[in-house]
Amino acid sequence: MAFDMKNFRLDGKVALVTGAVYGIGFEIARALAEAGATIVFNDRTQDAVDQGLANYKELGIQAHGYVFDVTDEEAVNAAVARINDEVGSVDILVNNAGIIKRIPMVEMSAADWRQVIDIDLTGPFIMAKAVLPAMIEKNSGKIINICSMMSELGRETVSAYAAAKGGLKMLTRNICSEYGEYNIQCNGIGPGYIATPQTAPLREKQADGSRHPFDQFIIAKTPAARWGTPDDLAGPAVFLASEASDFVNGHILYVDGGILAYIGKQP
Ligand code: NAP
Ligand code: GCO
Q: What is the pLDDT of residue 51?
A: 98
Find, among 38, 30, 34, 28, the residue nearest to 9 by Cα: 34
Whether 193 lines ligand 2, by a CB cut-off of 6 Å, is: yes
Q: What is the pLDDT of residue 266?
A: 87
Query: Amino acid letter at 225?
Result: A
Query: Amino acid letter at 198?
Result: Q
- What is the atom index within ligand 2 of the atom nearest the CA of 190? 13
Q: How far apart are CA 91 and CA 122, in angstroms?
A: 21
pLDDT tens for the 267 residues of the chain, in order: 788 999 999 999 999 999 999 999 999 999 999 999 999 999 999 999 999 999 999 999 999 999 999 999 999 999 999 999 999 999 999 999 999 999 999 999 999 999 999 999 999 999 999 999 999 999 999 999 999 999 999 999 999 999 999 999 999 999 999 999 999 999 999 999 999 999 999 999 999 999 999 999 999 999 999 999 999 999 999 999 999 999 999 999 999 999 999 999 888
The residues that are catalytic are 161
Whether 98 lines ligand 2, by a CB cut-off of 6 Å, is: no
Ligand number nearest to the C-alpha of 201 = 2
Ligand number nearest to the C-alpha of 94 = 1
Q: Compute, in angstroms, the gap from residue 238 CA to the centroid of ligand 1.
A: 19
Cα–Cα separations (whole angstroms), residue 251 to 15, 21, 170, 194, 267: 20, 26, 10, 20, 33
Measuring from each residue's beta carbon to the nearest atom of ligand 1, which residues come in under 6 Å?
18-19, 21-25, 42-44, 48, 69-71, 96-99, 119, 123, 146, 148, 191, 193-194, 196-199
Q: What is the pLDDT of residue 103?
A: 98
Q: What is the pLDDT of residue 3?
A: 84
Ligand 1 pocket check: which of 47, 67, 122, 198 to mutate, most ligand atoms within 8 Å of Cβ?
198
State how far Cα 81 lies from the chain centre: 22
Buried residues in 97-111 as b, exposed as e (16+ CB within 10 A): bbebeebeeeebeee
Q: What is the pLDDT of residue 2?
A: 83
Ligand 2 pocket check: which of 24, 120, 158 to mutate, most ligand atoms within 8 Å of Cβ?
158
Q: What is the pLDDT of residue 267?
A: 80
